[in-house]
Amino acid sequence: MSIARKIVQQKAEAHIKNNNPLGWFEDVYASAQGNELVIPWASLSPNSFMRDWLDEHPFPRGKKALVVGCGLGDDAEDLDRRGFQVTAFDISPTAIQWSRERFAKTRVHYEVLDLFQAPPRWRRSFDFIWEAYTLQSLLSPLKEKAIQRISHWVARKGTLLVVTRGKDKEDFVQGPPWPLIMEQMALFEDSGLKQFEFKDFKDPEKPTIRRFLGCYQFRG
Ligand SMILES: C[S@@+](CC[C@H](N)C(=O)[O-])C[C@H]1O[C@@H](n2cnc3c(N)ncnc32)[C@H](O)[C@@H]1O
């Protein structure tokens, strides 16, 4: 495990012990002091799973996209280049400020927001929602609650694409990240969406990482 990941785990553990399970995100970004190398998930490039999927399933220009837990903004900017009207939010003020500085001329609407405090007007509002690695950063029952929230934001005929670490129920993993199990992925369908694609795969990183990719639509 990298030193950066170990430090993130120590911060998460301290905040969780302090009854503040969402507090460690801002701590990680703020103490990085502008050095993305100490943020284990910050690649400073758009997510290749999202790009590959959208290359195969292009959307007409002008559709509304939402990026959940957008981190340093690379995925949001890629969606903007693809013609979406993009809202991207993160609970960390430092991450949002950092994104705005990196992309000074951006058209993306970046917002500091806790997903559990999202405005009611988001319900059934977004044509494309992209969620990468936020759910795996949450412990139960926040994970399950977040799945419900995110599902409710998918517009009629809209699409939700999720990529997350995956594991079997009996596997023990010292997180964060805390991979999802199949029963948790099934909660998207329990929340009113229909699954039309699911992949359980190993990505080519070394050491390899098991991931789930789920694609869901609302057809109500
Ligand atoms: C593992 S990082 C992934 C960031 C980005 N999606 C990426 O792929 O690089 C998880 C992100 O979710 C954000 N996050 C965690 N809980 C959140 C919440 N309740 N509301 C909004 N953002 C949250 C964190 O601040 C962090 O940026």
Reduced 3-state DSSP string for 2-47? CHHHHHHHHHHHHHHHCCCCCCHHHHHHHHHCCCHHHCCCCCCCCC
Instruction: Determine the atom of ligand 1 nearest the C-alpha atom of 22.
Output: 16
Residues with CB under 6 A from ligand 1: 22, 25, 41, 47, 69-71, 89-92, 95, 114-116, 132-134, 137
3 alpha carbon to ligand 1 midpoint, in Å? Answer: 20
Q: What is the rounded CA–CA span in Å between residue 69 and residue 136?
A: 11
**AA identity, residue 61:** R
Distance of alpha carbon 40 from alpha carbon 103, whole angstroms = 21
* Tokens encoding 2: 């990298």
- What's residue 219's pLDDT? 75
* Test site for ligand 1: of 28, 29, 98, 137, most ligand atoms within 8 A of the Cβ: 137
Q: What is the pLDDT of residue 47?
A: 98
pLDDT mean for each 10 residues of the chain (220 residues): 91 97 98 96 97 98 98 98 98 98 98 98 98 98 98 98 97 95 98 97 89 93
| DSSP run (H or E) holding 118 | none
Nearest-CA residue for ligand 1 atom 11 is 69
DSSP 52: H
Terminal alpha carbon distance of the chain: 44
Q: What is the pLDDT of residue 204?
A: 80
Residue 206 has what pLDDT?
Answer: 81
Tell if the pTM clears 0.75, that is, is over it. Answer: yes
d(CA 218, CA 179): 25
* 71 CA distance to ligand 1 middle (Å): 6
Residue ID of nearest Cα to ligand 1 atom 13? 69
Residue in the block written with tokens 């790009």: 51
CA distance 62 to 74: 19
> Could you count the other beta carbons within 10 Å of the beta carbon of residue 123?
13
Residue 220 has a pLDDT of 75
Look at ligand 1, atom 27, and give the residue with the nearest C-alpha.
Answer: 71
In whole angstroms, give the CA distance from residue 74 to residue 82: 13
Residue nearest to atom 8 of ligand 1 (CA): 132
Q: How far apart are CA 67 and CA 69, in angstroms?
A: 6
Q: φ and ψ at 181, to 5 degrees?
A: -110, 165
Cα–ligand 1 centroid distance for 105 (angstroms): 23
Tell how far the Cα of 147 is from the centroid of ligand 1, in angstroms: 14
168 Cα–ligand 1 center, Å = 23
Q: Where are the alpha helices (DSSP H) in the chain?
A: 3-17, 24-32, 48-56, 74-81, 93-102, 142-152, 182-185, 187-190
Integer-rounded Cα radius of gyration of the chain: 16
